[in-house]
Amino acid sequence: MGGPLLAIGTAAVGRTPGERPMRNTACCAITARNRFRPTAPVRCRSSEGPRMATIEEALDIAVDHHASGRLAEAEIIYSRILEVDPRCAAALHLAGVLACQTNRLDTALDRLHRAVREAPGTAAYRIDHAKALIAAKQWTAAGAILRPALALAPDAADPWYFLAMARHHTGDTDAAIAALRHACTLAPEREDLTGRLALLHQQRGQDHLRQFRQSLALADFQSAVALSPAESEPAFLLATALLDSNRFEAAADMYRRALSLAPAEGFALHNLGITLSRSGRTDEALTVLRRGARLDPAHVTVRDALVQVLERRDPTEAALWSMEALALKLARAAAEVPPPDTPPGPDGARTRNIVAFSLWGTREIYTQGALANARTVPAVFPGWTCRFYHDDSVPRPVLAELARLGAETVEMPAGSGPSHGLFWRFLVADDPTVARFLCRDCDSRPTAREKAAVDAWIASGLPFHVMRDHVLHTDLILAGMWGGMSGRLPPLAPAIDAAADRKADRWQDQRFLAGWVWPRIRGRVLVHDSVHPGVGQPFPPAPADPVSSHVGAKVLQLQPGDGAHVAAERPDFPPEVVILPAQPGRPMLAERPGRHGMMRFFAKDTYIGRSLALYGEYSDAEPRLAAMLVGPGDVVVEAGSNIGAHTVPLARTVGPTGCVHAFEPQRVVHELLAHNLAANGLHNVVLHRAAVGNAPGRITVPVPDYGRSGNFGAVSLGALSGEPVPVETIDRLGLDQLALLKADVEGMEALVIEGAARSIARFRPALYLENDWEEHSADLIATLQGLGYRLWWHLVPIYDPDNHAGNPFNAFPRVVSLNLLGLPEGRPCPLPDLPPVTGPGQSWREVARLV
Least confident of 267-281, 462-476, 680-694: 267-281
Calculate mean pLDDT across residues 407-426: 93
Radius of gyration of the chain, Cα coordinates, nearest whole angstrom: 35
Give the CB-side neighbour count of residue 342, counting CA atoms within 13 A.
18
Is 177 found in the same domain as 263? no
Domain boundary, last residue among 179, 194, 209: 194
Q: Phi and psi at residue 204, in whole multiples of 5°?
A: -65, -35
- Work out the pLDDT band at 18, boundaries 50, 70, 90: very low
Distance, CA of 327 to CA of 56 (rounded, Å): 74
What's the predicted TM-score (pTM) here?
A: 0.65
pLDDT of residue 15: 30
Is 310 found in the same domain as 259? yes
- Alpha-carbon torsion, ordered 127, 132, 134, 139, to 10 deg: -80
Distance, CA of 483 to CA of 81 (rounded, Å): 78
- Work out the pLDDT band at 838, boundaries 50, 70, 90: confident
8 Å CB contact between 715 and 609: no
In sequence order, the 6+-apart residues with CB closer than 8 A to the CB of 536 are 466, 468, 527, 528, 529
Residue 105 identity: L
Whether 591 is in a domain gets the answer no
Residue 86 pLDDT exceeds 60: yes
First to last CA, the chain: 84
Strands 384-390 and 408-411: parallel
Give the CB-side neighbour count of residue 2, counting CA atoms within 13 A.
0
Distance, CA of 41 to CA of 400 (rounded, Å): 93
Distance, CA of 481 to CA of 469 (rounded, Å): 10
pLDDT of residue 653: 97
Residue 215 pLDDT exceeds 90: no
Give the CB-side neighbour count of residue 227, counting CA atoms within 13 A.
28
Q: In terms of residues, how long is the chain?
A: 851
Residue 17 pLDDT exceeds 50: no
Nearest Cα to Cα of residue 660 among 671, 672, 649: 649
- Distances in Å between the Cα of 365 and the Cα atoms of 61, 417, 437, 545 are 81, 16, 23, 20
Whether 4 is in a domain gets the answer no
Residue 637 pLDDT exceeds 90: yes
Is 793 found in the same domain as 687? yes
pLDDT tens for each residue of 370-397:
999 999 999 999 999 999 999 998 988 8
Spatial strand order of the sheet with 434-439 comes to: 408-411, 384-390, 352-359, 434-439, 482-485, 464-468, 525-529
Residue 567 pLDDT exceeds 90: no
pLDDT of residue 337: 56
* DSSP structural state of residue 605: B
Is 783 found in the same domain as 664? yes
Whether 541 is in a domain gets the answer no
Distance, CA of 200 to CA of 181 (rounded, Å): 10
Residue 451 pLDDT exceeds 90: yes
Is 244 found in the same domain as 182? no
Residue 461 pLDDT exceeds 90: yes
Q: Which residues pair with 359 in a beta bridge?
A: 390
pLDDT tens for each residue of 607-624:
899 999 999 999 999 999
Distance, CA of 107 to CA of 92 (rounded, Å): 10
Rounded mean pLDDT of the chain?
Answer: 86
Distance, CA of 165 to CA of 462 (rounded, Å): 57
Whether 3 is in a domain gets the answer no
489-507 burial code (b ≥16 CB/10 A, e <16): beebeebbeebbeeeeeee
Q: In this structure, is the dihedral angle defined by the CA atoms of residues 764, 781, 164 and 203, taken in order, positive or negative?
A: negative
Residue 494 pLDDT exceeds 50: yes
Domain boundary, last residue among 529, 548, 571: 529
3-state DSSP assignment of residue 529 = strand
Is 614 found in the same domain as 519? no
Is 395 found in the same domain as 522? yes
Nearest Cα to Cα of residue 334 among 604, 518, 579: 518
Whether 556 is in a domain gets the answer no
700: CATH: 3.40.50.150
Q: Which residue has the higher pLDDT, 328 or 47?
A: 328
Distance, CA of 229 to CA of 196 (rounded, Å): 13
491: CATH: 3.90.550.10
Is 657 found in the same domain as 784? yes
Q: Phi and psi at residue 413, in whole multiples of 5°?
A: -55, 140
8 Å CB contact between 844 and 818: yes
Is 144 found in the same domain as 178? yes
322: CATH: 1.25.40.10
Is 360 found in the same domain as 299? no
Q: Which residue has the higher pLDDT, 845 or 83?
A: 83
* Structural domain span for residue 169: 10-194
pLDDT of residue 810: 86
Question: What 3 state SS string does 535-566 have?
Answer: CCECCCCCCCCCCCCCCCCCCCCCCCCCCCCC
Distance, CA of 221 to CA of 175 (rounded, Å): 17
pLDDT of residue 492: 94
- Work out the pLDDT band at 569, boundaries 50, 70, 90: very low
Is 724 found in the same domain as 646? yes
Calculate mean pLDDT across residues 214-232: 92
Domain boundary, last residue among 474, 498, 529: 529
Q: Which residue has the higher pLDDT, 519 or 45?
A: 519
Whether 825 is in a domain gets the answer yes
Domain total in the chain: 4
Whether 716 is in a domain gets the answer yes
pLDDT tens for each residue of 668-716:
999 999 999 999 999 999 999 999 998 898 888 777 666 666 666 655 5
Residue 196 pLDDT exceeds 80: yes
Spatial strand order of the sheet with 691-692 comes to: 691-692, 723-728, 697-701
Q: In this structure, is the dihedral angle defined by the CA atoms of residues 574, 580, 585 and 587, taken in order, positive or negative?
A: negative
Is 299 found in the same domain as 159? no
Whether 139 is in a domain gets the answer yes
